[in-house]
């Protein structure tokens, strides 16, 4: 069945100066432009194509693979911002349109933003929405504490990073759980820590109980490695910062850092700890 937003296998039906017309099992035809047609194509052959509407609103097939799937989220680049909305590069000839009413803030040319791909049922057009939360499920979340989940960062806030979890749910990685800077569009793995009544999920980048397995020195070393080899926290940092970041007292932190230093795993610099 030919439907926008989907890949499908279609049959070469007949050739024209513009390209081959493909058909489905119901006999519905759609054009595959010459630039996407194999040189050895023959009537009766099949091909895997993506269906969407071109700049003139005509159904068209392409062998290109878009950067985002229907009803999923991805980070795309804004290539134009106009008086009617913004356009994003999604890997196809016709750019992906984001209406103003689907933007929580104006998308600026050159920026990257996480969007959701949906089909406008009244026009059959594929559009994008930057209002991420409205598309995420908040009821009946079948996830258990400490479940490993895929994450996509879609917004940075003062307290942490908002995440799309498993392409379905909304979560938050708090600053004191990250050990490193995360930017919009980053994909990573996390672990469910708490599912709140509003359907939002607290996520940790470290499995629950990892601290007991690694020991305090191991937790600090893992944080340094996760931060790229340098962690801007030291024994001169405020006790509250150490407690919120590692869940340990400043005294315990200094003892653990001392063990790493004596083992020649780190050097202690004025502004932080560096892996050797």
Give residue-wise pLDDT tens across range 57-109: 899 999 999 999 999 999 999 999 998 999 999 999 999 999 999 998 999 99
Contact residues for 113 (Cβ-Cβ < 8 A; gap 6+): 75, 76, 78, 88, 107, 130, 184
Given this model, what pLDDT does residue 47 score?
97
Given this model, what pLDDT does residue 244 score?
64
Note the pLDDT tens digit of each residue in 207-235: 766 554 456 788 788 888 888 899 888 87
- Give me the chain's average pLDDT, please: 90
CATH code reported for the domain at 136-204:
2.40.50.140
**Cross-strand partners of 51:** 61
Given this model, what pLDDT does residue 247 score?
62
Given this model, what pLDDT does residue 1 score?
74
Sheet hosting strand 266-269, strand order edge to edge: 230-231, 272-275, 266-269
Question: pTM score, two decimals?
Answer: 0.76
Burial 2-34 (b: 16+ CB within 10 A, else e): bebbeebebbbbeeeeebbbbbbeeeebbbbee
CATH code reported for the domain at 73-133:
2.40.50.140
**Cross-strand partners of 89:** 77
* CATH number among 3.30.930.10, 1.10.10.10, 3.10.290.10, 3.30.70.260, domain 215-275: 1.10.10.10
Domain ranges of the chain: 7-62, 73-133, 136-204, 215-275
Both structure tokens of 89: 């590069």
* CATH number among 3.40.50.300, 3.20.20.70, 3.40.50.10860, 2.40.50.140, domain 7-62: 2.40.50.140
Rounded to whole angstroms, the Cα distance separating 24 from 214 reads 57
Given this model, what pLDDT does residue 193 score?
86
Q: Looking at residue 236, what DSSP letter applies?
A: T
Do 136-204 and 73-133 fall under one CATH topology? yes
More confident residue, 235 or 29: 29
- 267, 258 Cβ separation under 8 angstroms: no
Q: Taking the alpha carbons of 153, 154, 160, 164 in that order, is the dihedral positive or negative?
A: negative
């Amino acid at each position: 069945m030919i439907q926008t937003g989907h890949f499908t296998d279609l049959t070469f039906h007949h050739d024209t100066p513009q390209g081959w017309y493909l058909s489905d099992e119901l006999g519905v035809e759609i054009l595959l432009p010459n630039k996407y047609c194999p040189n050895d194509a023959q009537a009766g052959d099949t091909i895997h194509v993506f269906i969407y509407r071109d700049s003139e609103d005509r159904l068209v097939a392409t062998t290109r693979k878009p950067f985002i799937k229907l009803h999923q989220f991805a980070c795309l680049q804004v290539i134009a911002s106009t008086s009617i909305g913004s356009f994003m590069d999604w890997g196809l000839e016709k750019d992906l349109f984001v209406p103003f009413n689907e933007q929580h803030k104006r998308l600026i040319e050159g920026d990257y933003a996480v969007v959701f791909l949906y089909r406008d049922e009244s026009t059959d057009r594929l559009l994008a929405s930057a209002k991420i939360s409205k598309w995420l499920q908040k009821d009946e979340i079948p996830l258990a504490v400490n479940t490993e989940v895929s994450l996509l960062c879609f917004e940075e806030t003062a307290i942490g990073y908002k995440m799309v979890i498993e392409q379905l749910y909304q979560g938050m990685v708090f600053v004191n759980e990250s050990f490193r800077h995360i930017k919009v569009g980053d994909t990573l793995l996390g672990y469910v820590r708490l599912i709140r009544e509003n359907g939002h999920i607290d996520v940790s980048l470290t499995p629950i109980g990892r601290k007991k397995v690694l020991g305090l020195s191991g937790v600090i070393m893992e944080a340094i490695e996760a931060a790229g080899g340098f962690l801007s926290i030291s024994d001169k940092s405020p006790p509250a910062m150490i407690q919120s970041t590692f869940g340990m007292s400043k005294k315990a932190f200094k003892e653990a850092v001392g063990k790493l230093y004596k083992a020649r795993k780190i050097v202690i610099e004025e502004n932080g700890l560096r892996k050797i």
